[in-house]
Amino acid sequence: MYKINEKEYDCSVAVTVDIFNDKWKLSIIWHLLDNEKRFKDLNEEIPEITQKTLTVKLKELEQKNIIHREVFAVVPPKVVYSLTPAGERLRPVFKEMFNWGISYVKEHGKITSDHKCCEVQISKKIGIS
């Protein structure tokens, strides 16, 4: 049995599923893998997400200690989001997701565009050489 903030889980997978219970959180983390970002940058890089949803998901990730929110005392206000050490430990998870996705497409589908450029960018982000 696992317990976090008065919530109990039967196994560690249940903890992971509870934290990453939607598509947006993983997307936000994905965009923070290469460097810290401001809210506006994240909103532009994930155009499908509304500002309200992005705000909610950032707060949830901050509460779970996956991302860090740093507020700078300047005018206009500056807020920067980055990964915490717990968030950084997701890098190999994304690497495995990348590898699994490629093998799945090769086995069950086909690559329909120039994927080499995309693979190079992704490789740099998640540390594949």
Percentage above 90 pLDDT, the chain? 57
Quick: pLDDT tens for 12-38.
899 899 988 998 999 999 999 999 999
Quick: pLDDT tens for 110-121.
877 766 656 666
Task: Give the angle 64-66-72 at the CA atoms, nearest 5°.
Answer: 100
**Domains defined along the chain, listed by start:** 1-84 (1.10.10.10), 90-129 (no CATH)
Task: Give the angle 127-38-69 at the CA atoms, nearest 5°.
Answer: 85
Contact present, 68 and 62 (Cβ < 8 Å): yes
